[in-house]
Structures are given as structure tokens and as C-alpha cells.
Amino acid sequence: MIDTIINRLNGKKILIAGFGREGKSTLRFLQKYLPDAMIGIADKNESAFQDIDKERYELFAGDDYLNAAADYNIIIKTPGISVNNIEIDCSKITSQTDLFLEAYHNQVIGITGTKGKSTTSSLIYHIIKGVKALKGKGNDVILAGNIGIPILDCIDDINERTIIVYELSAHQLQFINKSPHVGVLLNVFEEHLDHFGTYDKYKDAKINVLRYMSDGDFAIVNNSLFHETESMSVSRIDFESFDLKNFNINWEEIPLMGEHNKLNVKAALCACRSFGFSLEDLIPHLYTFKPLEHRQEFVGIFNGVKFYNDSISTIPQATIAALNTIKNVNFLLLGGFDRGIDYSPLISYLKENVMPYVLLTGKAGQTIKNMLQDADYKGNILEYTDMESAFEIVRNMSKNGDVCLLSPAAASYDRYKNFEERGKIFKELAKKF
């Protein structure tokens, strides 16, 4: 099946657009399987080319780094690269995801959603690996994609029996022509509007996880999005309505908090069952799952204050889910990079469920502050410049038994490399509190 990818690229003049983690992975693949290919590499930052053989490849950097696209037959776009407002022949654009799904779609469970995709993907991987391990075939499943492992880096570990659990972002799904055999669409909320421009374009990219399915494929869909797939001639499963009453699941023993995680569990079980596994075999492995970092993560009690790290929260709906799970929050840390999303749902929630202290930062924090003031919010609204200053506020105003929650409802890119770095700093400061 790797031949499908090789044949599609063979003889083409190839441009790698973006040279971060996935771009480097693409180059490694081409070096191994198409060593004589004519390759160009384009990245806005020239520093990305530090370790590149500048004699072997055409390199393009600076503000006009994608202008060279016209001279290439095929463009392998990486997720972080936006082609909005650029004159480019989109018919030339492919991606690792597009190339891989064309070759291996029958072996793939693909998972996307604005929130919950990493947890659901990791859970699917965990329970399938657990079932396979009991049969001596635990290595016949891999987890890759948006979770941090470029899919082409895994290609040598795949055989005809391997199940590929593929976490997919909207960026990865934007330019594909084939959907996974089992596609999971968890939810869609306003996000990444800085990249896609409009919510409709973002949602359109998400729905691609199901759009190109064939007869015999399975679409696992949230009830609220079920109507979006009515025209598809594939098996559709509303995981939200999936009845598990006969299986005596002890939800309190599953190490995932909140009603939203019950939906993630249901989606995971539906996906695995669609791939031929029995629920009786799958369910025991739910109890041994280890939750991912930065997702409603209990950090500990320090100097009498409970700290929770939910740095993954980059939209209002995620913060609301956290507040519905973690009760009696006294200090709520919000804000960061403003992507232009609508904070009205969060404002309405906070007005009905007043936090004693709402701490705000960044442009998103300023937006939230203005909206809270317009809504005549009754709690204390405070601003902070960095995580250290937030902890100073908590230190000065907290009392024994208080709860402090980082659930920003905003991206981290104004101050941090990513949400992981933001969460890590929060945890480090909590442990020193």
C-alpha cells in the first residue's frame, strides 16, 4: 500500500510547504522512498533550514515563501500553513493525511472534533491495544497524527493487520479526498478562525473526516451534527444516544471526569465496535486508562488550595465543561490569544454561576472583561500579566479549601509556545504555592 503513495508522487516536482515537525517527517519519507525526487522546501522562517543540505534542495523563505508553488507539480502542505488569501492552484495541494488515507483508509479510525479528540483517540488506542495484547497482538495498533506523531513516520511499522488510530485536526483534514474507514466527529465549535476565516469553512474541514466515505464505512457522529451527514450512504451511528445500560459500566471508576468525557467514552466504544471488537472485550480496559495532561488535571492541594490544570481549554465550551465538572471554583484563570471567537456562552454561564474571582489576561481576557462588565457581572474581575502575577493574586486572596482552576477559553500563542507549556508553568507554580 505504500506503493500507492510512491506512485502518486513519483516523477513529480514536489514542494513541502512548512518545515516544522510534519514537514521534516515528509522530507524523511521522500529521502527514503523517492531519493531522486526534485524537492523544494518553503517556510516563512529561514531558521527552519539550519540542518538542510542547501545544495540538494530549493529553499524558499520570507513573506513570499509560497510564491514558488507555481513551479511545482504537487504541494505537500503541513497543518500550520494557511493558503487563504494566496493565489495558488489548490488542485496541486495534498498533505500527509491525504496521501496516507488514499493508501491505508481501510485500516484507519480517524477522530476529530474541536474538543475531546486527543482523549478519545488515546482511549481508542488504549482499549484496542489492551484487547489485542490479551491475544498476543498488542503491537498491531498505532496512535498517530495530531497527537504529536506524524503519520508518515509510522509507515514502516504498519502491516496489513495494523489498526491505525489517527487523531485529525481541521488543518489536517482541509485538503483530503478520502475519509477513514471509521470516522469519528465528536463536536464542532468556533475555533481556529484566524486560520480558516469563517466558522463555516472550519466546520467544512471537520466534516471531511466523513465526507469521502464509501459503502461499508462507519460514521460516528454527535447527535447535534447528525443532520450534516444525512446525504451520506454509509452506516451512521449517533454515539450520544448509544445505550450502554446493559453493560453495568461503573462510571465513577473510569478515570475521566465530567459528562463530556462520558460522550468521549461512548464515541470510543462505537468506533471500536465498528471495527469488529465486542463491547464485552473493550469495557474492562476503560478502567485502566490514564488521562492526558492539561485536561481537567488535578495538580494537588498546596497551602490549603486545590489546583486544577485545564490548559487545553481554548474555547468557551471547554471552560464551561470544566466548571460543570470541577465544582466550587473560587479562582478562574481566563484569557490569552484572541482568535475572534464568540464568548457569549461563557459570559451567560458566568453570570448564572458567579465565581468569586475571575482572573483575566491577554487580548481574549480584555474581550471577556468588557463583556462581563457589560453583563453587570457580580464577581470580582481582576487582570494579570503573566502566570506568576496570577499566583500572586491567588496567594494574597485565597483561604483554606479554595479551588483555583486554569481553564483559559483561549489559545496560548500570545505568551507560550503551546497549551502544554502554559499548563506546565501553571503546575510548577502550583507546587511551589
What pLDDT shows up at residue 247?
87
Q: Which amino acid is at 351?
A: K
Superfamily of domain 297-431: Mur ligase, C-terminal domain (3.90.190.20)
Give the tens place of pLDDT for each residue, 214-238: 889 999 998 888 777 777 767 888 8
Residue 390's Cβ-count burial label (10 Å; 0-12, 13-18, 19+) is: buried
Greater model confidence, 67 or 119: 119
pLDDT range class, residue 328, cuts 50, 70, 90: very high
What pLDDT shows up at residue 54?
82
Mean pLDDT, all residues of the chain:
92
What pLDDT shows up at residue 53?
84
pLDDT range class, residue 85, cuts 50, 70, 90: low
| Other C-beta atoms lying within 10 Å of the C-beta of residue 40 | 18
Between 15-29, 214-228, 378-392, the lowest mean confidence (pLDDT) is in: 214-228
What pLDDT shows up at residue 228?
73
Average pLDDT over residues 39-50: 91
Paired strand residues for 185: 112, 221
| Domain ranges across the chain | 2-94, 98-288, 297-431
What pLDDT shows up at residue 246?
82
Helix then strand then coil, in percent of the chain rounded to 5, is 45, 20, 40
What pLDDT shows up at residue 325?
94
What pLDDT shows up at residue 58?
92
Largest CA distance in the chain: 68
| pLDDT at 138 exceeding the cut of 70 | no
Which residues lie closer than 8 Å to 352 by C-beta, 6 or more apart? none
Buried b (16+ CB within 10 A) or exposed e, 188-213: bbbbbeebbeebeebbbbbbbbbbbb
What pLDDT shows up at residue 105?
96
Which residues lie closer than 8 Å to 374 by C-beta, 6 or more apart? none
pLDDT range class, residue 15, cuts 50, 70, 90: very high
Report the distance separating Cα 406 and Cα 332, nearest Å: 6
Check residue 238 and give left, alpha or beta (phi > 0: left; psi -120 to 50: alpha).
beta
Average pLDDT over residues 270-295: 94
CATH number of 2-94: 3.40.50.720
For domain 98-288, the question of CATH label 3.40.1190.10 is answered with yes
Average pLDDT over residues 309-335: 96
Greater model confidence, 328 or 195: 328
Between 222-236, 253-267, 302-316, 417-431, the lowest mean confidence (pLDDT) is in: 222-236
| pLDDT at 253 exceeding the cut of 70 | yes
What pLDDT shows up at residue 400?
96
Greater model confidence, 36 or 83: 36
In three-state secondary structure terms, 222 is coil
Report the distance separating Cα 153 and Cα 162, nearest Å: 15
Q: Structure pTM?
A: 0.90
